[in-house]
Amino acid sequence: MENQNKKAKKFSFEAFFTGKIFLDIASSIFSIFLGLLLGYLVMYFINPEYATSAFKVVIGSWKQIELSGTQSFNIGEILFRATPIILTGLSISFAFRAGLFNIGVVGQFTVGAVAAIYVGVKWTFLADVLGMNLHWPVALLAALLAGGVWGAIPGLLKAYRNVNEVVAGIMLNYVGMYLSIYFIMHNIFNPTYARALSVEPSAELPTWGLEKLFPSPNMNIGIILALAAVIITHIILYNTKSGFEIKAVGFNRHASKYAGINENKNIALALIISGAIAGLAGAIVYLVGGKSFAVIAVLEPQGFTGIAIALLGLTTPIGTFLVGIFYGVLQYGGYLIQGDLLGGFKPEIVDVIISTIIYISALSLFVKMYLKKIIKYIGNISKPKAEPKAEPKAETKKGGDE
Amino acid sequence: MEYVVEMLNITKEFPGIKANDDVTLQLKKQEIHALLGENGAGKSTLMSVLFGLYQPEKGTIKINGEEVKINDPNDANKYKIGMVHQHFKLVHNYSVVENIMLGVESTKNGLLDYSVAREKIIELSEKYNLRIDPDSLIEDISVGMQQRVEILKMLYRDAEILIFDEPTAVLTPQEIEELMKIMKNLTTEGKSIVLITHKLKEIKKVADRCSVLRKGKYIGTVGVKNTSTSKMAEMMVGRPVNFGVDKKKANPTDVVLEVKDIVVEDSLSRKLRVNNVSFCVKKGEIFCVAGIEGNGQTQLVEAITGLERCKGSIFLNGEDITNTSIRKRNNMGVSHIPEDRHKHGLILDYSLEYNLVLQEYFTPKFQKFGFLKQKAIRENAEILINEFDIRSGQGAITDARSMSGGNQQKAIIAREVSRDTDLIIAVQPTRGLDVGAIEFVHKELVELRDQGKAVLLISLELDEVMNLSDRIIVMYEGELVGEFDPLKTTETELGLYMAGSKKKKKEVKHSGKSE
C-alpha cells in the first residue's frame, strides 16, 4: 500500500513539474534570474569594488540600504514606481486574453493623461460640488474615457474591418502623441517651462492616510486604484460571462462564432477596456502635485515597459501585479545606487537588467523546452534508482515485522 | 521465423497513463500487418516509438533480428522505416518533386538538381504503379494523389518498412480500392507494411495478420484469413459489437427544416460552393447528405447554422431564419455537431466543463447578473461525463486539448444532444472514431430520431449513409444530383452519383424553384 501511494505521488509530481503552469512560472523566474545575473556582471565591470553592495540594493535588500545610509528603506517609493507599470501591464494582459496585442497602450496612456490633466487644470468648479471634491474622480473618469476611446479605434477597426490591431495601435501611438501636444499648446500650456500646466491641488490624487503607512512624498491612492483594477479584471476574466466570452474569442475565434458569441463585439470590448486601463495609468502618473506633462515628441515609456511586465506576468492580472511590484523594487534600487556611498552607479543599470530579462523572456519557449527536457532527464535518472531500492527495503521491513 | 521488425514488451508511460503496457508487435517480411485498436488504445504511440518520436521505458526493438535503439526519426530513416501520417506532411505550394526530395535534396555544385530526383521518382512510380505528374503542385492534386506523394516519399528514401497511419480516412471508396491495390503491389515488391486502422473491412480485404491493442494492452495477434470481423471487433472493444444499426422504420411527421434555393458563393473566388439546393427535413427521420469531401456539404451546413451568408431562404419550424444570428438559431432549436472538432466544436484551451456549457453558459442556469455559476457548471459536467462516458485525465477540469479524439467528440455530442433541440445537424459525426464509439454515435442518432427529432446527417462514409439514413441526397460540385431511398439503392449507385458520373435531372427539379 505504502509503495503504491508513493508511486501515485511521484506520478503527480512529475506531471506537475512538466505541467504548463509550472513551466510558465519557472521560465519567468529563470528569465528574471538570468537578467539579474547579467546586470550584476555589468555592474562588476563598471565598478568591481561597489558592485556587490549596490546590486543588493537594486534587488531590494533592506539591510544593505540602511547600512549604506543613503535613505531608509521605503515601500512607498517602490509602490509609487510600480503603480503605472502595473496598470499598463494589466492593460496589455487583458487584451492578450482576447488574443489581441494592444501595442497602442502608449497612445492610450498619453491621451488618458492629457484628458486627466485638462480636467485637473480647467474644471475647477468640481472642487466643491455640494461639499464634495469631485475634481480628481472626474479627472480619473475622463482618463478612463479617453483611453477607452483611443482603444476603441483599433478595436472597432479590428472587429469590423479586420485591420491588424498592432499596425493600427502603433500608428495611433503617434497620432495620440502629436494630438496631445497640439491640444496642450492650445489649451493648457505653460510657456515658461514649455510644459503643460500642473493640475489644481483639488485634482491631485488624495493619500487617504497612506503616506503615514508608507512614508513617501509620492504616496497616493494610485496603488489602491491599481490593485482594484487588478482584482476587477481578474474577476471579469475568470468569473463572469463576459470574461468567458472574451477568453473564448481569444483562444478560438471560430469556435466562439459557432457557439453564437459575437466575436466582433468582444474584440472591440476587450480593446476598449484595455485602453481605459491604460488611460487610468496615465492619469495616475500626472494627477500628482508638481508633476507636469513635457511637451516633447517622445513616446511615453510606461506603455512599452508594460508589455514586458505583462509577458513576464504570464499575461494574467495577478502575475502582472506581482511582476509590477518587482519592477518597482528594481527601479527604486536604481534610483538609490546613484549615491556616492554605493559607488555612484547610473540608474540606467536597472534598464539594462530589465531589458535583459525581457530579452530572455522572449525566449521563453526555448527555455520551457529545455526545462522540460532537464526535468524529464532528472525524472528518468531518479526513477530506476529509486524503485529497486525502495522495494527490498519494504520487504525487509515486512520481514522484520513478522 | 524471421521478422523484419520486432517490438518486444514495449512499455511507454505518460504522466497518469500507460499508453503501451507490455506490447509486442512482430512484422514478417512482405506481409501487411494490421494494427487494430480503438482510439487511445496506443496504436499511434507504438508506431511513434518505432519511428523514434518517443523512447519506451521498457522493451526492445529488433530490426532484422538485431537489437537497435531508435532515438529520433533520422534513426528510423536509417533503419529504412517510413511513415505516412494521417495528416499528410506536405508543402502545399511545392511541386511533387520538391516535396519528395525535401530533406534529401540532390545537389550539383551547391545548387539543387531536380533532374536526378525527377528521374528517380518517375522510375519508382513506374515500378510500383503509382502514376503521378511530378511537376504539379500539391495544392492542385486530389487527396488520393497527395497520399501517393507520401508513399513515394518513403520509397524515395529506400524505406523497406512502411507504416500507414489510418490511410483511408480521407479517401473516396474508389481511391480506397486503388490504395489497397498499391499496398498489395508494394509487398510483392518486397516491402513490409504496418497498417494502422480501425476499419475491419479493410483489414479483411488486404491484411495478412492483425495485432490488436486495447487500452494500451496487447490482446493478441491473429491470422486475418481465418478470423471473422466480429471476432476481431470483439478483441478490439472487449465485448461483442453490433455492426448493423438497429432501427425501426422511420415515422416522419412535420417538417422542421426547410431549405429553399440555397446559394453560397465563395467570398474570394466567387465560385458557387452551393448551387440552388432545396430540401426539407422532417421530425422523426435521419436525412442524409452524401458526397465526396469538398462538394459543398460544408458550406451548406455553414449556411444553415449561420456561420456563412447565403442567398435563398431557410425555415426552422416554419419561421424564416435566413438572416438570424447564430446565437438565435441555436436557441430556436438547432444543434450542430461540427465537422471540425478543433476549429469549431471545442475551445481546446478551455476545460471540459467549460466546453460542455459553450452553448448555454449565458442561460440563467449557468449565470446570474453576468457572473458564472461555477457550481452549476461543474454539476452539469459531472452529469454529462457520467451519462456519455466521457473519459479524461482529470474529469471536469481536464483541458479539452489533452483529451483523445473520441472523447472530444463524445463531449461535443453530449453538449449538443443534451440541449434538447428539434434539429440536430451532425457533420461526419464518426470521423476518426473507433468501432465502439461509432456504435455509440449511431445509436444516439437513431434514438434522437425515435424521440421525434429531425436529424440532418452529412457523411462521407457510404456504410454510414446506407445504414443510418432514411432518405439520402447526393451533392456533387455544389449541386444536388439525386435523391434516394436507402432501401432501394446500392453503394455502387451512390458512388457513381458522388463521383459525378451520373445525374438525376427530373428528381431535383421538383424541389427547386428557379429564382
Q: Is A102 on the interface with B (CB under 8 A)?
A: no
For chain A, positions 233-252, list CB contacts with chain B under 8 A.
239-242, 244, 247-248, 251-252
Alpha-carbon span A20 to A22, nearest angstrom: 6
Segment A104-139, tens digit of pLDDT: 999 999 999 999 999 999 998 888 888 888 999 999
> What percent of chain B stands above pLDDT 90?
41
Alpha-carbon span B358 to A258, nearest angstrom: 9
Chain B residues in contact with A15 by the CB 8 A cut-off are 15-16
Segment A64-118, tens digit of pLDDT: 666 655 556 678 888 988 999 999 999 999 999 999 999 999 999 999 999 999 9
Q: List C-alpha distances in Å: B426 to B302, B358, B413.
A: 12, 17, 9
Asked if the ipTM is above 0.85, the reply is no
- Per-position DSSP letters for B227-277, written without gaps between them: S-HHHHHHHHHSS----S---------SEEEEEEEEEEE-TTT--EEEEEE
User: What is the per-residue burial (b if ≥16 Cβ within 10 Å, else e) of B190-223?
Assistant: ebbbbbbbbbbebbbebbbbbbbbbebebbebbe
Q: Please report, as a single letter, which amino acid is at residue A5.
A: N
- Per-position DSSP letters for A272-319, written without gaps between them: HHHHHHHHHHHHHHHSSTT---B-SS---HHHHHHHHHHHHTTT-HHH
- Residue A380's closest chain B neighbor by CA? B57
A66 or A348: which leads in pLDDT: A348
Q: Which among B307, B354, B371 has CB closest to A258?
A: B307
A&B contacts, CB < 8 Å: 71
Q: Is A377 on the interface with B (CB under 8 A)?
A: no
Cα distance from B70 to chain A (closest Cα, Å)? 17
Q: List C-alpha distances in Å: B208 to B184, B185, B224.
A: 10, 14, 6
Mean pLDDT of B250-266: 90
Alpha-helix runs per DSSP H in B283-356: 297-305, 326-333, 352-356
Q: List C-alpha distances in Å: A285 to A104, A138, A183, A289, B127.
A: 18, 15, 19, 10, 76
- Residue B14's closest chain A neighbor by CA? A15
Q: Do B347 and A255 touch (CB under 8 A)?
A: yes
Identify the CA nearest to A85 among candidates A312, A269, A377, A349.
Answer: A312
Chain A residues in contact with B308 by the CB 8 A cut-off are none
Cα distance from B302 to chain A (closest Cα, Å)? 9
Name B331's Cβ contacts closer than 8 Å, sequence gap at least 6.
A260
The answer to whether residues A234 and A318 touch, using CB atoms and an 8 Å cutoff, is yes
Alpha-carbon span A396 to A376, nearest angstrom: 31
> What percent of chain B stands above pLDDT 70?
96
* Other beta carbons less than 10 A from residue B499's beta carbon: 15
The answer to whether residues B380 and A292 touch, using CB atoms and an 8 Å cutoff, is no
Question: Given this model, what pLDDT does residue B504 score?
Answer: 67
Q: Please report, as a single letter, which amino acid is at residue A341.
A: L
The answer to whether residues B358 and A255 touch, using CB atoms and an 8 Å cutoff, is yes
Alpha-carbon span B159 to B76, nearest angstrom: 9
Chain A residues in contact with B372 by the CB 8 A cut-off are 239-241, 244
Segment A140-190, tens digit of pLDDT: 999 999 999 999 999 999 999 989 999 999 999 999 999 999 999 999 988
Exposed/middle/buried for residue A285 (C-beta within 10 Å: 0-12, 13-18, 19+): buried
A324 or A350: which leads in pLDDT: A324
- pTM here? 0.76
Cell numbers describing residue A61 = 535588500
* Other beta carbons less than 10 A from residue A201's beta carbon: 12
Q: Do A240 and B374 touch (CB under 8 A)?
A: no
Alpha-carbon span A204 to B358, nearest angstrom: 46
Helix (H) or strand (E) holding A78: helix A75-97
Q: Do B330 and A251 touch (CB under 8 A)?
A: no
Question: End-to-end distance of chain A based on CA atoms, in angstroms?
Answer: 17
Q: In B291-350, where do the E strands start and end?
A: 311-316, 319-320, 334-337
Cell numbers describing residue B159 = 524505406
Q: List C-alpha distances in Å: A291 to A40, A275, B205.
A: 32, 23, 83
Q: Is B338 on the interface with A (CB under 8 A)?
A: yes
The answer to whether residues B445 and B245 touch, using CB atoms and an 8 Å cutoff, is no
Q: CA-based angle B210:B213:B219, to the nearest 5?
A: 80
Q: Do A258 and B362 touch (CB under 8 A)?
A: no
Segment A202-251, tens digit of pLDDT: 989 998 888 787 777 788 899 999 999 999 999 999 999 999 999 999 99
- B307 pLDDT above the threshold of 80: yes
Identify the CA nearest to B280 among candidates B102, B157, B423.
Answer: B423
- A9 pLDDT above the threshold of 70: no
Chain B residues in contact with A237 by the CB 8 A cut-off are none
Q: Please report, as a single letter, which amino acid is at residue B431.
A: R
Mean pLDDT of A337-358: 77
